[in-house]
């Protein structure tokens, strides 16, 4: 596949309600996420998940993003733009829940998706973008390092 072919199939935009089931399938289709209760995606999406989508959709500082090939959702991520007093008052972009369809990996689509989010952050005037990635996802660490991210921090989490 040439770069030109790749560009022609990839559309990246903010998700709509109609994209939510496909996004949930992408979030579920992941070995590590399966251990978080994502093993089965119910056909009927839970009311709390719809409420979360509505909350994201209504919030100028949260964006659910989808990458498409035609009508098919082949990638997703969520962006959160965080105001703060550091770095001269510039926003910080947090990237969460990055997924590329298993059948579409290794084609550079993930890199295109992340570069698109970084361009979006620059347009907003963000000073920094950040994400955390499970220490077991060594392929992901190389992927983000190649895009210019530095593994400068420990990512610490606590379940509540």
The b-or-e profile of 85-107 (16+ CB within 10 A means b, else e) is eeeeeebbbbbebbbbbeebeeb
Cβ nearer to a second copy, comparing 8 with 14:
14
Residue 58, CA atoms < 13 Å, CB-side half-sphere = 6
**Binder among 2, 35, 102, 152 for a second copy (CB under 8 A):** 152
Q: Which tokens belong to 139?
A: 């392929």
**According to the binding rule CB under 8 A, does residue 37 interact with a second copy?**
yes
Stretch that binds a second copy, among 4-12, 31-39, 65-73, 102-110 (CB under 8 A): 31-39
How much is the CA Rg of the chain, to the nearest whole Å? 16
Give the footprint of a second copy on this chain (CB under 8 A): 20, 23-24, 27, 33, 36-38, 46, 48-53, 55-56, 59, 61-62, 64, 78, 80, 82-94, 96-97, 118, 121-122, 126-135, 141, 144-145, 147-160
């Amino acid at each position: 596949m040439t770069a030109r072919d790749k560009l022609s199939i990839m559309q990246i935009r903010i998700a709509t309600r109609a994209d939510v089931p496909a996004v949930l399938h992408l979030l579920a289709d992941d070995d590590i996420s399966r251990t978080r209760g994502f093993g089965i995606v119910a056909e009927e999406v839970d009311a709390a998940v719809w409420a979360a989508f509505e909350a994201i959709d209504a919030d100028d500082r949260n964006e659910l993003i989808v990458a498409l090939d035609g009508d098919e959702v082949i990638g997703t991520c969520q962006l959160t733009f965080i105001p703060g007093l550091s770095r001269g008052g510039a926003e910080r972009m947090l990237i969460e829940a990055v997924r590329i369809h298993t059948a579409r990996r290794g084609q550079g689509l993930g890199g295109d998706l992340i570069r698109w989010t970084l361009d979006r952050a620059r347009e907003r005037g963000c000073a920094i973008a950040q994400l955390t990635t499970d220490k077991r996802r060594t392929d992901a660490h190389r992927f983000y390092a190649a895009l210019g991210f530095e593994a400068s921090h420990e990512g610490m989490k606590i379940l509540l």
